[in-house]
Structure 1
Amino acid sequence: MRAYARLKFRDKMHLRDVQAVKLCLADAKEELERMDYYHSMYRAGQAGKVTASSVGVPVLASHCPNCNHSFESAVMRFCALCGVQRPNIVS
């Protein structure tokens, strides 16, 4: 991040004016804080994805609760005969 700030303000590296240097330092500090905030938000989002994916896929019922017809595939969400939604099995 420091390298990014150095690249962004490279044209102002040889300033002699004290006020201009203070303004550049304040801008660079603000930029670094903003980047740190966004990186922390990204890390938190990635950690959330890991915990969400570790929960796993819900176990679905193998037969329709209404007509007792067996579901042909593992991805079917509704019964082909009566149209009832396939329930999740609570473990």
Structure 2
Amino acid sequence: MMNQATKETLRSATRRKASKPAPTTESGISLLPLPERLAIYRQMLTITIPQAGELLGASVTKSYDMARKGALPLVEIPGMGKRMVSVPRLLEIIAKGEGGAE
């Protein structure tokens, strides 16, 4: 769940002239500066594999490759057959400098 400050950050970042829509990524989050994206992601427990790749500077294909090889901290969602990336564990990897696109 996003708190009110996060929602306002997203709203203000996407306010543009009507003729020029805000650029967005596959994940739906505007192309905000990295510190702002991290602030949003820190409030989430899990994110999608492409979102994790976005944080690491990897393409969608590379992100799924990293997930397949076990380089991303995946969490299985029971009954949905869905794999999500654990944000707290991903941030630990980033902080240690173990992650990243190659």
Q: TM-score, normalised by structure 1?
A: 0.23
Q: TM-score, normalised by structure 2?
A: 0.21
Higher relative contact order (CA 8 A, sep 6+): 2
Of Structure 1 and Structure 2, the greater strand share is in 2
Of Structure 1 and Structure 2, the greater helix share is in 1
